Amino acid sequence: MTSQLSDTTIAVSSRPARSLWGEAWVRLKRNRLAMICLAIIAVYVFVAIGVAVGLIAKDWNKSVGASYEPPSREHPFGTDIFGRSVLAKTLYGAKTSLTVAFVASVISILIGVPLGAIAGYFGKWIDEVIVWLYSTLATVPPILLILAFALVLKNKVLFKGTAYEIPLHGITTVYLAIGLTSWVGLCRLIRGEVLKHKQRDYVIAARAFGASDLYIIFRHIIPNVFHIVIIYFSLQFVGFIHAEVILSFLGLGAKEQPSWGVMIDDAKVVLFSQKVWWEFAAATFAIFFISLALNIFGDALRDALDPKLKNS
Q: pLDDT tens digit string along 18-43?
A: 666 677 777 778 888 889 999 999 99
Inside any domain, residue 284: yes
pLDDT at 20: 60
Inside any domain, residue 13: no
Inside any domain, residue 6: no
pLDDT at 10: 47
* Single-letter residue type at 278: W
pLDDT tens-digit series, residues 254-300: 677 788 888 888 888 787 777 788 888 899 999 999 999 998 888 88
Per-residue pLDDT, averaged over 139-163, amounts to: 74
pLDDT at 5: 44
Question: Contact, 189 vs 116, CB < 8 A?
Answer: yes
The CATH number covering residue 63 comes to 1.10.3720.10
pLDDT at 163: 63
pLDDT of 8 over the 90 cut: no
- pLDDT bin (cut points 50, 70, 90) of residue 11 is very low
* Single-letter residue type at 212: S
Nearest residue to 83 (alpha-carbon basis) of 70, 73, 94? 70
Inside any domain, residue 283: yes
Residue of higher predicted confidence among 78 and 164: 78
pLDDT of 9 over the 50 cut: no
Per-residue pLDDT, averaged over 174-199, amounts to: 86
Q: Within 10 Å of residue 85's Cβ, how many Cβ atoms? A: 25
pLDDT of 168 over the 70 cut: no
Inside any domain, residue 14: no
Alpha-carbon distance of 223 to 193, in angstroms, equals 12
Among 132-136, 150-154, 179-183, name the one with the lowest average pLDDT. Answer: 150-154
Count structural domains, the chain.
Answer: 1
Per-residue pLDDT, averaged over 113-122, amounts to: 90
pLDDT at 257: 79
Residue of higher predicted confidence among 223 and 304: 223
pLDDT of 204 over the 70 cut: yes
pLDDT at 56: 83
Q: What are residue 119's phi and psi, to 5 degrees? A: -65, -45
Per-residue pLDDT, averaged over 156-168, amounts to: 67
pLDDT at 18: 62
Nearest residue to 174 (alpha-carbon basis) of 211, 146, 144? 146
pLDDT of 248 over the 90 cut: no
Inside any domain, residue 3: no
pLDDT at 2: 47
Q: What domain range is 67 assigned to?
A: 19-311
- pLDDT bin (cut points 50, 70, 90) of residue 250 is confident
Question: Contact, 130 vs 187, CB < 8 A?
Answer: yes
pLDDT of 16 over the 60 cut: no
- pLDDT bin (cut points 50, 70, 90) of residue 1 is very low
Question: Contact, 125 vs 112, CB < 8 A?
Answer: no
Inside any domain, residue 7: no
CB-based burial, 281-292: b 16+ in 10 Å, e otherwise: bbbbebbeebbe
pLDDT at 268: 83
pLDDT of 166 over the 70 cut: no
Question: Contact, 92 vs 60, CB < 8 A?
Answer: yes
Question: Contact, 253 vs 173, CB < 8 A?
Answer: yes
